[in-house]
Structure 1
Amino acid sequence: MVSATSLIAIVDDDTSFRTALESFARSLGYRARGFASAEDFLGSDAVRDADCIVSDIHMSGMSGIDLKHRLDAQGSTTAVILVTGHTEPGTWKQARACHPHCFLLKPFDPQQMTECLAAATGA
């Protein structure tokens, strides 16, 4: 069962994807908060309050992979789910090397995201 207090932070510079994923997370019973960039997320209180972070890899400014490295360097243990629409082998290799909780290729099956969120939040 999803805890109504679990906060999912969604970091993506694509407004339509970010908004859709926020709505999806809320439909599953999570609280959700969207950010247009990794920098916006890092400057918010959600950096300490989020139970899970879903981040696109390719964004202007800091990438999702760079965000994961920054969080690791700060000692964060918050689960990070990385998503991308890019299928280059280098992207896959870099993403897996930073050990995200899940790594999903857009467009993903909603059930995959549901399972990743549940595992990340202990729901």
Structure 2
Amino acid sequence: MSRYDEIKHRAVTTLQRWVANPLSRRMPRQVLLETTGRTSGQPRRTPVGGTRVGQEFWLVSEYGDKSHYVRNIMADPRVRVRIKGTWHTGTAHPVPEDDPRARLKSLPKGNSAMVRLVGTNLLTVRVDLDS
């Protein structure tokens, strides 16, 4: 990661952690991804933008395996996703072979634009939802 990307990552994640995410988590229609903290074991809820396709939920991480929620998924892939106010359980999988820029075209436009703007290491994530 270049020095510029590192500074951008720190600035954006600080803004997300302390301002955007706390506000977004309170919005009843915001999609949330709940992972288990890899060191704390506590639930961690992250606002995400994505799309449900059948029994799958697709999203793109801005920072790939540098994102805490991706690291949590790698430690324990069991997750919950809140879609339209309803929680669904599932198993998350990073999909490095998928083209994240192409995937963003099928995801919500506003979120996709922000991911493209601030992202430095895009990574597609698929959640296989339980029935």
TM bucket normalised to smaller: 0.3 to 0.5
Larger RCO (alpha carbons 8 Å, 6+ apart): 2
Give the TM-score normalised by structure 1.
0.32
Q: State which structure, 1 or 2, has the greater radius of gyration over its C-alpha atoms.
A: 2
Query: Which structure is higher in strand share?
Result: 2
Give the TM-score normalised by structure 2.
0.31
Query: Which structure is higher in helix share?
Result: 1
